[in-house]
Amino acid sequence: MTRMDDEESAGMRVEPRAFTDLSVHVAPRAEGGLDMALFGELDAATAGKLDDALREAMTSEGPVVIDMRACGFVDSKGIAVLIKAAVHIGDQNREVIIRGAKDRVVRVLEVAGITSMGNLKVEP
């Protein structure tokens, strides 16, 4: 039985909740740099988690590869975090590589101008 089932059986009205959480997994790359995988939505409520992980990435060496296959939504706050990281990491002559983003996420990144940044690459 789930928590929702318990609350409903107790006579409480339970409103469905949108899934807006974000999980960021970070691992060192064998050839240097970091791999990051995002799971969930990158928005104003969750962008701080990615910002914290990217700040840590700025202290490492090599490229930062962000796997966005499991990230279905990015808003302006998420875009701002990606741009800020790309600028700072670019200042270190390193690059940020975004891989596996869904078509709708890639379109948002294109409209925001991220795909034309020199040290930030968006790959399928």
Encode pLDDT of 2-29 as tens digits: 444 444 455 666 555 455 689 999 999 9
Q: How far is CA 48 from CA 21, 23, 41, in A?
A: 11, 11, 12
Task: Tell me the average pLDDT across 28-40.
Answer: 94
Q: Give me the residue label for tokens 């990606």.
A: 82
What pLDDT does residue 88 have? 92
User: What is the secondary structure of 8-24 as a DSSP string?
Assistant: HHTT----------EEE
CB 46 within 8 A of CB 40: yes
pTM of the model: 0.80
What pLDDT does residue 1 have? 46
3-state secondary structure (DSSP) of residue 6: helix
Span 83-113, pLDDT tens digits: 999 999 999 999 999 999 999 999 999 999 8
Confidence of residue 58 (pLDDT cuts 50, 70, 90): confident
Confidence of residue 39 (pLDDT cuts 50, 70, 90): very high
CATH number of 19-123: 3.30.750.24
